Amino acid sequence: MTAHRIDASLDTAIDVFTAERHPVLRVAPGDTATIRTLSAAGYTERQQHAGDHPPTLIDGRRGHCLVGPIAVEGARPGQVLTVRFDDLVPDDWGYTGSGGVDTPVNRALGLTQERGPLLWDIDAGTGVARNQLGLGVRTAPFLGVVGVPPEPTGEHSTIPPRPLGGGNIDCRELVAGSTLYLPVTVPDALLFVGDGHAAQGDGEVSGTAIECGMTATVTLSLLDEAPVDGIHADTPAGRITFGFDADLNAATTTALDRMVDWIAGLHGITRSEALAMASVAVSMRVTQVANRTWGVHALLPHDAITA
């Protein structure tokens, strides 16, 4: 096993998913990589006041400022890339935007004209972030965007999460100690990461979390088979399956369908029996509402079902 290090720079950062870019790092399965990312906006300097727009690494940015692609040698479609988050350390400052944009949520709340940006001081040691209003929250750092290109050609937006490739999943449970399972879509997998969040609620309802730079240490491995189809995770909170769709009902059904499969396989029971167990043990959560595509995850706590 080899340990690698890569930082966000003009040579390593990008604002789309693509399989047509030369890898910025090559690793072998089982290797560890420490990846320094900037915030989603790619700010290169700290914001000095709410609403401030410092310089960004990528001019005319089209999506999230990501680092990638990272090639995993030998990965091929049909396999599953496992991304274990060994450590996630946020930068000491971040920001949250809200309102002022014409989105369905802002229209419903009457906030298309009113902005409420927050600036945060983040103390990774104490696990607390505090904003200019004097209000604080507990931190639980994770990366909002972890994904692979959805297909071998073209440039693809980083904004909507996808059933093929993942990407802007924005799941607050993917903290250190979690493993995310991504079906490989292209040779060498070609992983992109970024969009650090120091804290976020389920839903990411304003469209942003505590957006920040992040130093993430991950271990990348390959599986020939996974316990369930599609994108899923094993986290400190429990097992998670995901659904992504423009229709909330469809996203919910996908996440639930895969969780039913997982429970049935774990306990050797039928799918109808597994659905009954899910009804008393699984929580369905709206992962995010902000990214053109609904994200829903089904969460099965590790101790929810005993044998």
CA 87 – CA 173 distance, rounded (Å) = 14
Q: Flag whether 306 is in a domain.
A: no
Domain boundary among 223, 255, 285: 223
| Structural domain range at position 282 | 232-300
Domain boundary among 201, 223, 245: 223
Q: Flag whether 305 is in a domain.
A: no
The verdict on 195 and 260 lying in the same domain is no
pTM, rounded to two decimals:
0.96
The verdict on 131 and 184 lying in the same domain is yes
At 3 the pLDDT is 94
Q: Flag whether 286 is in a domain.
A: yes
At 46 the pLDDT is 95
- For the chain, the three-class secondary structure string (H helix, E strand, C coil) is CCEEEEECCCCCEECCEECCCCCCEEECCCCEEEEEECCCCCECCCCCCCCCCCCECCCCCCCCCEEEEEEECCCCECEEEEEEEEEEEECCEEEECCECCCCHHHHHHCCCCCECCEEEEEECCCCEEEECCCCEEECCCEEEEEECCCCCCCEECCCCCECCCEEECCCCCCCCCCEEEEECCCCCCCEEEEEEECCCCCECCCCCCCEECEEEEEEEEEECCCCCCCCEEEECCEEEEEEEECCHHHHHHHHHHHHHHHHHHHHCCCHHHHHHHHHHHCEEEEEECCCCCEEEEEEECCCCCCC
The verdict on 274 and 131 lying in the same domain is no
56-61's contacts with Cβ under 8 Å and 24+ in sequence apart are: 57/8, 57/9, 57/10, 57/13, 58/10, 58/13, 58/14, 58/15, 61/15
pLDDT tens for 230-279 read 999 999 999 999 999 999 999 999 999 999 999 999 999 999 999 999 99
The verdict on 146 and 199 lying in the same domain is yes
At 102 the pLDDT is 87
The verdict on 195 and 105 lying in the same domain is yes
**Residues in the chain where the model's pLDDT stays below 70:** none
> CATH number of the domain that 196 lies in?
2.60.120.580
The verdict on 73 and 166 lying in the same domain is yes
At 50 the pLDDT is 82
The verdict on 173 and 102 lying in the same domain is yes
Q: Flag whether 108 is in a domain.
A: yes
The verdict on 138 and 286 lying in the same domain is no
The verdict on 96 and 30 lying in the same domain is yes
Total domains present in the chain: 2
The verdict on 135 and 276 lying in the same domain is no
Q: Flag whether 26 is in a domain.
A: yes
The verdict on 94 and 237 lying in the same domain is no
Q: Flag whether 219 is in a domain.
A: yes
Domain boundary among 195, 223, 251: 223
The verdict on 241 and 214 lying in the same domain is no
> CATH number of the domain that 250 lies in?
3.10.28.20
CA 87 – CA 34 distance, rounded (Å) = 9
